[in-house]
């Protein structure tokens, strides 16, 4: 089994930053890559702020925070990831973009390196087909936000080796995560169930069954969900939700996975959720914000 000493994380958004933080806290050197240097600066600040919050709450020691920060490296040069034992991509949820990245990583990284994808819906088998090492390609789907959420969903492609699976499972357990394993079908486990629920919430809003507030409140108080489905969609990103619904619809061929027209309209309008200040809810006006509920 490969010993993991260096991890490369491609993508410095919320997911990539969270994965990088977990890795560094658990004693792994991390190279965070993004083509956008401003995004790397935001990621560095976000991780530093998060570690200091953990320190102030007594959930991380001073030496632990200092060591984690020391292990983190940021780069816009993909070549810097050549010595990584595992690379976890956390970029846009697009099969072609991910395949293009995997082709590049296949040429750059050492022969023993495992290429893992944080995809929440796209076929691992198809991503692996872009490389010369399909036995070393695997799905490692963290939940959002990665430092807080306990679950990691592991997906084996058609050719993923037992050794690759054991290595990634051991790594996730080292991070203190609980593991579930899925077959390589569109949406895997979590999003195959979650996204149709979010999509149905959009249909309820679209057909004026209820207001967005009542839809979310009904699911929180009626089914004990920590967040309503529309709030959750805003947190995930409406563009991400739409991408996943399209993958489900194309991959499973059932009309129940067809994206709600309202979801499509919001994404077309640039209303992508919290990350841009407006989605189902308007986050630029305090009076219109839903009451935030931590997803613990």
Query: What burial class does residue 189 get, using C-beta atoms within 10 Å of its C-beta: 0-12 exposed, 13-18 middle, 19+ buried?
Result: middle
Is 34 annotated as a binding-site member? yes
Please indicate if the annotation marks 45 as binding a ligand.
Answer: no
- Using a 10 angstrom Cβ sphere, with 0-12 exposed, 13-18 middle and 19 or more buried, the burial of residue 47 is buried
Selected catalytic residue, list 17, 33, 121, 153: 153
Q: Is 50 annotated as a binding residue?
A: yes
231 belongs to an annotated ligand binding site: no
- Alpha carbons 61 and 45: distance in angstroms, whole number: 19
144 annotated as ligand-binding: yes
Catalytic residue among 17, 117, 141, 272: 141
Residue 275 annotated as binding site: yes
Rg (alpha carbons) of the chain, rounded to whole number: 19
Q: Is 251 annotated as a binding residue?
A: no
Q: Please, are residues 17 and 46 in contact by the beta-carbon 8 Å criterion?
A: yes
Active site residue 199: no
Question: Annotated binding residue at 58?
Answer: no
Active-site annotation holds for 33: no
Contact (Cβ atoms closer than 8 angstroms) between residue 103 and residue 131:
yes
272 is catalytic: no
Nearest to 22 by CA among 187, 145, 202: 145
Ligand-binding annotation for 213, yes or no, is no
Q: Which of 23, 44, 118, 120 is catalytic?
A: 120
14 is in an annotated binding site: yes
Residue 57 counted as an annotated binding residue: yes
Residue 44 among the catalytic residues: no
Question: How far apart, in whole angstroms, are the C-alpha atoms of residue 173 and residue 53?
Answer: 24
Distance between terminal CA atoms of the chain? 32
Residue 15 assigned ligand-binding role:
yes
The catalytic position among 191, 199, 231, 272 is 191
DSSP per residue, 85-104: SEEEE---S-HHHHHHHHHH
Backbone angles phi and psi of 37, in degrees to 5: -65, -30
> Do the annotations mark residue 98 as ligand-binding?
yes
**Binding site, annotated residues for CoA:** 50, 57, 120
**Binding site, annotated residues for NAD(+):** 11-16, 34, 93, 98, 120, 144, 275
* Residues forming the active site: 120, 141, 153, 191
**Binding site, annotated residues:** 11-16, 34, 50, 57, 93, 98, 120, 144, 275
């Amino acid at each position: 089994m490969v010993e993991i000493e260096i991890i490369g994380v491609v993508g410095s958004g919320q997911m990539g930053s969270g994965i990088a933080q977990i890795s560094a806290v658990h004693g792994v050197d991390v190279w965070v890559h993004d083509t956008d240097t401003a995004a790397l600066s935001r990621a560095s600040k976000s991780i530093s702020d998060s570690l200091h919050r953990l320190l102030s709450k007594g959930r991380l020691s001073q030496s632990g925070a200092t060591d984690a920060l020391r292990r983190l490296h940021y780069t816009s040069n993909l070549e810097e990831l050549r010595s990584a034992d595992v690379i976890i991509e956390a970029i846009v949820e697009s099969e072609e973009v991910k395949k293009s990245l995997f082709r590049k990583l296949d040429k750059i990284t050492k022969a023993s390196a495992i290429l893992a994808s944080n995809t929440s819906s796209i076929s691992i088998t198809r991503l692996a087909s872009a490389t010369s090492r399909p036995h070393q390609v695997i799905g490692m789907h963290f939940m959002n936000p990665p430092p807080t959420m306990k679950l990691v969903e592991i997906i084996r492609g058609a050719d993923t080796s037992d050794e690759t699976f054991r290595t990634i499972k051991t790594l996730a357990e080292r991070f203190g995560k609980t593991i579930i394993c899925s077959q390589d079908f569109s949406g895997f486990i979590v999003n195959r169930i979650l996204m149709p629920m979010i999509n149905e919430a959009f249909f309820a809003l679209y057909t004026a069954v209820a207001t967005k507030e009542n839809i979310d409140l009904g699911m929180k108080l009626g089914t004990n969900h920590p967040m309503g489905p529309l709030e959750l969609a805003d947190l995930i990103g409406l563009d991400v939700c739409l991408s996943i619904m399209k993958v489900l619809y194309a991959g499973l061929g059932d009309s129940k996975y067809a994206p709600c027209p309202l979801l499509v309209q919001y994404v077309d309008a640039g209303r992508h959720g919290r990350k841009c200040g407006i989605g189902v809810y308007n986050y630029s006006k305090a009076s219109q914000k839903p009451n935030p509920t931590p997803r613990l």
